[in-house]
Amino acid sequence: MSVIEKHTSVEAQAIAAKKAAKKISLLSTEEKNEALHIIADTLEKNTSRILHANERDLQLGKEKGYDAAYMDRLALSKERIFDFAEGLRQVAKLEDPTGKILSNWTLDNGLLVEKVTVPLGVIGMIYEARPNVTVDATGLALKSGNAILLKGGSSALSSNKAIVEVMHEALNTTKIPKDAVQFIASTDREATQQLFTMKEHIDVLIPRGGGSLINAVVNNATVPVLETGVGNCHLYIDVEAEVEEALNILVNAKTDRPAVCNALETAIIHKEWLDKNKEQLINTLNEEGITVHGDETALSYFPDAILANEEDWANEYLSLDLAVKTVESVEEAIDHIERYGTKHSEAIVTENRDTAKIFMNLVDASALYHNASTRFTDGGALGFGAEIGISTQKLHARGPMGLPALTTVKFLMSGNGQTR
Amino acid sequence: MSVIEKHTSVEAQAIAAKKAAKKISLLSTEEKNEALHIIADTLEKNTSRILHANERDLQLGKEKGYDAAYMDRLALSKERIFDFAEGLRQVAKLEDPTGKILSNWTLDNGLLVEKVTVPLGVIGMIYEARPNVTVDATGLALKSGNAILLKGGSSALSSNKAIVEVMHEALNTTKIPKDAVQFIASTDREATQQLFTMKEHIDVLIPRGGGSLINAVVNNATVPVLETGVGNCHLYIDVEAEVEEALNILVNAKTDRPAVCNALETAIIHKEWLDKNKEQLINTLNEEGITVHGDETALSYFPDAILANEEDWANEYLSLDLAVKTVESVEEAIDHIERYGTKHSEAIVTENRDTAKIFMNLVDASALYHNASTRFTDGGALGFGAEIGISTQKLHARGPMGLPALTTVKFLMSGNGQTR
């Protein structure tokens, strides 16, 4: 059964994935790593085939009038495909997260208890245009002993299909059954609804994309969800912030890559600091081409600023726009973040350790920064090697999710007839 | 505002709980432990008041014709209330699960990264008749720095209200704000629906009760759920099982406390073993008063057995009934468990280590036993000190959930101006 034929039901695919997951869970680390290398090599050998499929997506995208940023995320090149392959080889180098004995102890009656990490089983990945997720998520899933159901955005359909076909050809020569990687080509609602509710076959859903995609999954899924990353990130510049440091961090967090989830969206500035450093701040923002949307007080400092409304505080710009909120205390800053933050990454700049401590203790987010840029909330930057997404929820995994987030545990008890 | 007044909205209660959660998160371990001791003492001092309220529930229960087991779970006594208090004192002795640095490292640029455990925030506990959950869950929530919203079964309404009133009086003399413990007295659908969907105020829902309660929460909640424990537990008696050991484990798992989730429901027996040991097995089952529901082959051995149907394989009996399935291999046993198991506790009896290994590797459940009774899946028995429930899901916490299951993590980054 070719798993990417249009008429294969999503349920049949999930069942096949579950069977395959059992087989992978028994493979050695070496066998899994070998498979990742073979997929990497096969992707490199088939670049022209993948690029040909990508052309079709780009053509359709042009006809539909997608914007430049969207087209850029969709577009592949020989270099990008080689990067995908290199990513798989990096994942092969990472420590196997399964089979680790997290703790073990013996009860008074002699029963040995071991808490051991095991794969989750079947992962459902739901994502938007970026075809790199097709490869990255597959690599992380297989390395951690899981099967994966891939449901990518329809705008990248041809590219994703070609990539999965190539990965299947590669898997045919490895110990990992190709059924471990399932691509859901159907774009109808029923297929999505099935994916959301097949608790008996799918162990977790991971949505990666914009807020509306993530909300659709969270609100409709009965399968457990690992919620990832809308980042409405804030930087609080305290009255005791060192000027150069504050400006460097602000510029870096806002302008380094404005479209990513760990980019800065709102600067919360202490009024006294603003009053003292307005000229330097205004010059810096102007030089960087940053558009300010400010509250009433901020408007009195920034002549070109736009008055901020509820939308400005609540949403990500993902552009060179910046909301500016003025406050008179760290508590007021914390309240604003509590109201509008998305529990992703929040930063404070201050020379006062006590103020920093209050901020770090009371702000509820996955990553908190004292005198550093929010841009470090990233599996690669933090040294996790690779990430399947950034969790903004509190259960299971929070912050950048590396391979261990794709495992669960089993308690294994060995006895010689113990009863209670 | 008295938080148990009938007209207080659930949303107002959740908001108050969230505020209180912040305050508890800043308390020291000693301050939290002191509060637990004060609650314990106050409960003991108010036994007659609680028993008086319990009388009302028992009276109503009698009028409604609840069965004896149900009435037993509902009934309180001086001893039971003293046990609740003792439970709180035990929780006070447990290690504080928050504020632990799970790992820390420094990036090449000097940025210090710490991964620290913190409270989840606000826990929503939804449970059935047992009033002990009102005290137990409160103790575990407060010790781990969380606030709690309690929604108990309507049949225990008076008892739960009295217990919460007493706990509030106790909290008035402690550092923990009484708003940290909220009792939802309203039994209308709207209140429940609010509880299921207030993602902005509630961090996790924990249902404890029968399958229909748990399914209602899982299917309707958008707040993340920690699913707990329906246990359709199996014991596989392999062809190489030692007879005495197998019979001891079977009897213990089935009869020690048939109504609990880690009790045995189905024995899967290798045909050769059954053929060799039928007399001893039949005598044992008869002596213990166990009623067999068997497949066709089993029926030929057990003259008094009832033919098992789909219901017998799929559901918990929670009584002295036992389903008996006969198989010819460990693989067949594993397939049966995969089809009907609830991923709670599964056991194998065999002298063959390789067979045991296959079983432990391939069966997907929170707890797996080789030559021991399923009855050990319990926070107390495993040495966790106390448990908030037994998780049968794979995310966040699996198996018995002690205090650490009520925490999440924060990544705290300290720098001196690092940018990316």
Which DSSP string do the residues of B131-152 spell out, in sequence order?
A: THHHHHHHHHHHHTT-EEEEE-
Q: Which is higher by pLDDT, B374 or B259?
A: B374
Q: Model confidence over B73-85: pLDDT tens digits? A: 899 999 999 999 9
Q: Where does the pLDDT of residue B155 fall: very low under 50, low under 70, confident under 90, or very high at 90 and above? A: very high
Percent pLDDT > 70 in chain B is: 98
Query: In terms of domains, do B43 and B176 share one?
Result: yes
Residue A4 has pLDDT above 90, yes or no: no
pLDDT at res. A218: 87
Judge whether B53 and B162 are in contact, CB under 8 Å. Answer: yes
Considering the domain architecture, whether residues B237 and B325 belong to the same structural domain is answered as yes
Count CA atoms closer than 13 A to B85's CA, side-chain side. Answer: 21
Residue A140 in tokens: 């992380």
A381 and B414 within 8 Å at the Cβ level: the answer is no
Q: Is B398 on the interface with A (CB under 8 A)?
A: yes
Residue A19 is assigned to a structural domain of this protein: yes
Q: And the tokens for A114?
A: 């071991």
Residue type, A324: V
Q: Does a structural domain hold residue B382?
A: no
Is 90 exceeded by the pLDDT of residue B385? Answer: no
pLDDT digits (tens, 9 = 90+) for A290-339: 999 999 999 999 989 999 999 999 999 999 999 999 999 999 999 999 99
Q: Round to whole Å and give the CA distance between B302 and A42.
A: 59
Residues A246 and A338 grouped into a single domain:
yes
Same domain, B207 and B246: no
Residues 88-127 of B with CB under 8 A from A: 105, 107, 111, 113, 120-121
| A31 and A164 part of one domain | yes
Q: State whether residue A314 sits within 8 Å of chain B by CB.
A: no
Q: Alpha carbon A193 to chain centroid distance?
A: 22
Reduced to 3 states, what is the DSSP secondary structure of residue B65? Answer: coil
User: How far is A179 from A4, CA to CA, in rounded Å?
Assistant: 10
Name which of A7-16, A104-113, A164-173, B291-300 the model is least confident about: A7-16
A5 pLDDT more than 50: no
Tell me the sheet residues that pair with A306. Answer: A293
Tell me the pLDDT tens digit for each residue of B112-124: 999 999 999 999 9
Chain centroid offset of residue A296 CA: 35
**Residue B318 contacts by C-beta under 8 Å, 6 or more apart in sequence?**
B258, B259, B260, B263
State the average pLDDT for chain B: 94
pLDDT classification of A8: cutoffs 50, 70, 90: low
Show the tokens assigned to A203: 């162990």
B47 in Cβ contact with B85 (< 8 Å): no
Q: Give the angle A91-A17-A49 at the CA atoms, nearest 5°.
A: 60
Predicted local confidence at residue B172, as pLDDT: 97
For residue A42, what are the β-bridge partners?
A: none
E strand or H helix that includes residue A362? helix A353-362
Please provide residue B86's backbone torsions phi and psi, each rounded to the nearest 5 degrees: -65, -40
Tokens, residue B41:
């003492």
> Does A167 have pLDDT greater than 80?
yes
pLDDT value for B299: 96
Query: How large is the average pLDDT for residues B40-64?
Result: 97
Q: Would you say residue A385 lies in a domain?
A: no
**Higher pLDDT pick, B69 / A57:** A57
Q: Specify the pLDDT at position A256.
A: 96
Same domain, A112 and A237: no
In chain A, the percentage of residues whose pLDDT exceeds 90 is 85
- Whether residue B19 is contained in a domain is answered as yes
Rounded to a whole number of angstroms, the distance from the CA of B60 to the nearest CA of chain A is: 36
Burial status of residue B123 (CB atoms within 10 A of its CB: 0-12, 13-18, 19 or more): buried
What does the alpha-carbon distance between residue B224 and residue A391 come to, in Å, rounded to a whole number? 13
Is the separation of the CB atoms in A202 and A149 below 8 Å? yes
Direct distance between the N- and C-terminal alpha carbons of chain B, in angstroms, rounded to an integer: 49
* Contact across the interface for A368 and B111, Cβ inside 8 Å: no
Domain that includes residue A271, residue range: 233-376
Cβ contacts of A104 within 8 Å, gap of 6 or more: A112, A113, A114, A115
Same domain, B239 and B368: yes
At position A161, the amino acid (one-letter code) is: K
Q: What angle do CA A336, A340, A344 make, to 5 degrees?
A: 110
Contact A382 B113 (CB under 8 A): yes
**Is the pLDDT score of A48 beyond 90?**
yes
Distance of alpha carbon B281 from alpha carbon B243, whole angstroms? 9
When pLDDT is averaged across residues B310-333 and rounded to a whole number, the result is 97
Secondary structure of residue A391 in the 3-state scheme:
strand
For the domain that residue B135 is a member of, what is the CATH number? 3.40.605.10
The answer to pTM > 0.80 is yes
The answer to whether residue B381 is domain-embedded is no
Contact A407, A98 (CB under 8 A): yes
Of B372, B394, B409, the CB nearest to A398: B409
Is the pLDDT at B321 greater than 80? The verdict is yes
Do residue A217 and residue A312 come from a single domain? no
The verdict on residue A381 lying in a domain is no
Do B125 and B178 fall into the same domain? yes
Residues A220, A239: one domain?
Answer: no
Provide mean pLDDT across the span A3-27: 84
Task: Give the residue from chain A lying closest to B382, CA to CA.
Answer: A107
Average pLDDT over residues B285-302: 97
Q: Please give, rounded to a whole number of angstroms, the shortest distance from the CA of A317 to a CA of chain B.
A: 20
Helix axis angle, A47-64 to A78-93, nearest 10°: 120
Residue B290 token pair: 């166990």
With an 8 Å Cβ cutoff, is B34 touching chain A?
no
pLDDT at B191: 85
Percent of chain B with pLDDT over 90: 85
Query: Please, are residues A296 and A308 in contact by the beta-carbon 8 Å criterion?
Result: no
Q: What span, in angstroms and rounded, lies between the C-alpha atoms of B260 and B92? A: 26
What pLDDT, in 10s, does the model give residues B400-409?
999 999 999 9
Task: Assign 3-state DSSP to chain B and report helix, strand, coil percentages, each to 5.
Answer: 45, 20, 30
Task: Please say if the pLDDT value at position A229 is more than 80.
Answer: no
Q: Which residue from B75, B16, B412 is spatially nearest to B198, judged by alpha carbons?
A: B16
Which CATH number characterizes residue A344's domain?
Answer: 3.40.309.10
Within a domain: residue B388?
A: no
The predicted structure's pLDDT at residue B8: 61
Cβ-based neighbour number of residue B367 at 10 Å: 27
Q: Does the pLDDT at position A1 exceed 80?
A: no
Task: Dig out the tokens for B317 from the structure.
Answer: 């009996």
Examine the domain organization and report whether B209 and B67 are in the same domain.
yes
Q: Report the domain count for chain B.
A: 2
- Domain check: are B237 and B209 in the same one? no
The Cβ of residue B129 has, within 10 Å, a number of other Cβ atoms equal to 23
d(CA B268, CA A97): 33
Distance to chain A for B315, nearest Cα, Å: 16
Smallest Cα–Cα separation from A117: which of A388, A398, A386, A406?
A406
**Which pLDDT score is estimated for A80?**
96
- Residue A386 within a domain: no
Helix (H, G, I), strand (E, B) or coil at B61: helix
A383 or B177, greater pLDDT: B177
Nearest-angstrom CA–CA distance, A213 and A195: 14
Pairwise CA distance, residues B97 & A140, whole Å: 30
User: Which of B219, B248, B399 is the closest to A411 by Cβ?
Assistant: B399
